[in-house]
Structure 1
Amino acid sequence: MSQATLQVTGMTCGHCVETVSKAVSSLNGVNKVDVSLEQKEVKVDFDEGQTALTEIKAKIVDAGYEVGSG
């Protein structure tokens, strides 16, 4: 099991938080998603055997947000 914390910009409200959470949760191997609007970050617990960090980042970008280098 792996854990990553990603800096995400573009989130401005609770709907944004819900959108990002649902998008990341839809990936196979993602066990937990914690989205913080205040800290503009997404913490993800995932199984690298089922999904890669690059896939998680791509899903966030596809949802309309930007992922920082953090």
Structure 2
Amino acid sequence: MKEVTLKVEGMSCDHCVKAVEGAVQSAGAAGKADLAGGSVTVTYNESRVSVDAIKEAIEEQGYDVK
């Protein structure tokens, strides 16, 4: 398992946190969003999902990922 922290722009409330964490989960990974820090820490299996796929899932929810 690998872990990466992604910067997420546009999160402003608890609903945003849930949307980002849900997007990460739908991509096949586990994530814990940090509203104050504007980031999400993702744990994933690199043989099953790529960081790009995780970023894309978050971006589909309307957030910018750096």
- TM-score, structure 1 length as denominator? 0.90
Structural mapping, 1:13-28, within 5 Å: 13-28=13-28
Superposed counterparts of 1:1-70, under 5 Å: 1-28=1-28, 30=29, 32-68=30-66
Gaps of 5+ in 2: none
Runs of 4+ in 1 over 3 A off after TM superposition: none
TM score, norm. by length of structure 2? 0.95
Q: Report the Cα offset of residue 45 of structure 1.
A: 0.3
Gapped runs of 5+ residues in structure 1?
none
RMSD value over aligned CA atoms? Answer: 0.7
Number of equivalent positions: 66
